[in-house]
Amino acid sequence: MKLNFDHLQSAHCENGVTRSLLNNIGVHQITEPLAFGIGAGLFFVYIPLLKINNGPVIAFRPMPGLIFKRTCKALGIPVIRKKFGSKEQAELFLNECLTAGHPVGCQVGVYYLTYFPKEYRFHFNAHNLIVYGSEDDKYLISDPVMEHETTLTRYELERVRFAKGALAPNGQIYYPVTGAVVTDERIKKAIINGIEKNVRSMLQPVVPFVGVKGISYTGNKIKKWRDKLGPKQAGLYLAQLVRMQEEIGTGGGGFRYIYAAFLQQAHAYHPVDELLEISNKFTESGDLWRTAAVQAAGIYKGRIGSQDDFNTMGNYLLEIAEIEKKAFTALKKIKWH
């Protein structure tokens, strides 16, 4: 059984799943940047004391599932979402959804994800893909980061849906309910709502390691890494930062560019000139995240590595935090008509 479904490639998995599932129920206006912006997808957190893969825990996105949830909610589209204790029940429900004609989003781990190259298969459980049918022993998969559709066997899909470790998906499955009519007026409101949410999550957290404050907090930490950890370990920490930041279209630079694209598209709904100016600010920030990644690479490749080089690296993050603080403050001040 193969449902009528168009595979679309995206920069980021959850944006992509959101856009594709919405397109599939007839909400064609929602592009990847709109899904990202309405879902308030830009985020930053450095979780102190905790380690992952023996390095720092830095995330550039909100908790998995939030972008989809917020976007659907803002557009007034009801969502079905389930987690499972048993693998059998999880498969049964998936098959029921497919029989009923719903392509579904699944949260999965990438460690056992067979179509990814081995080098990318870490214990990372916040990936998302769409199942849109089955043939023989195989499920038909639309993974938004891949150019083309792919497949997984029953066993393979079960394994990734029940990956273990941090953020274990527990078979999580979700889809938007069909039938909603989304007007331009609704999208206009959703855009404002998404921007306001993102302003809050980046500017107003009370703890120092979240949002724009978190970026400068991390910048200051980085300056101390060389003395605290030794050059080799400090280099590995930076490599981890870059991987969290830039891997598969996500994180630092990539997310800023998607957000900048969102503000341009928002301008088509709200002709407020500030949106275009602020969009340029996010482009600037994205470029600077990439410059910082190049500096980090110099260190983990061992080409540079003095305290000055770590200071330069840390200062890039301080500069980024400043730009983004101004950009979000400007967004906050916009007078919507």
Partner 1 sequence: MKKEDVPQDLSSLGKITKEVCYATDDSGKYVTELSKGWDIKITALDAAWQDIEGRITAAREKVLKNEASSLLFFMERGLMDISILAGYTGFWKWQIKRHLKPDVFKNLPDKKLQRYAEVFNVSVDDLKNMNVHEA
Chain residues binding partner 1 by CB under 8 A are 9-11, 33, 53-54, 111, 115-117, 119-120, 122-123, 145-148, 164-165, 168, 235-236, 239-240, 242-243, 246-249, 253-254, 257-258, 260-261, 264, 280, 283, 286-287, 290, 293-294, 296-297, 300-301
Cβ at position 123, least distance to partner 1 in Å: 6
Alpha-carbon distance 202 to 195, whole Å?
11
Q: Which sign, positive or negative, has the C-alpha torsion 225, 228, 233, 237?
A: negative
Instruction: Compare residues 51 and 207 and give the one whose CB is closer to partner 1.
Output: 51
For residue 165, count other CB atoms closer than 10 A to its CB: 12
Alpha-carbon distance 244 to 232, whole Å?
19
Cβ at position 99, least distance to partner 1 in Å: 30
Instruction: Compare residues 12 and 102 and give the one whose CB is closer to partner 1.
Output: 12
What is the signed CA dihedral for 323, 312, 233, 241, rounded to 10 degrees?
20
Cβ at position 153, least distance to partner 1 in Å: 15
Instruction: Compare residues 66 and 239 and give the one whose CB is closer to partner 1.
Output: 239
Q: Under 8 Å CB-to-CB from 270, ≥6 apart: which residues? A: 188, 191, 192, 336, 337
Cβ at position 206, least distance to partner 1 in Å: 29
Instruction: Compare residues 77 and 238 and give the one whose CB is closer to partner 1.
Output: 238
Instruction: Compare residues 147 and 273 and give the one whose CB is closer to partner 1.
Output: 147
Alpha-carbon distance 109 to 131, whole Å?
15
Alpha-carbon distance 73 to 67, whole Å?
10
Cβ at position 116, least distance to partner 1 in Å: 8
Contact 133, 2 (CB under 8 A): yes
Cβ at position 137, least distance to partner 1 in Å: 19
Residue type, 242: V
Instruction: Compare residues 211 and 249 and give the one whose CB is closer to partner 1.
Output: 249
Alpha-carbon distance 12 to 178, whole Å?
24
Chain centroid to Cα 301, Å, comes to 27
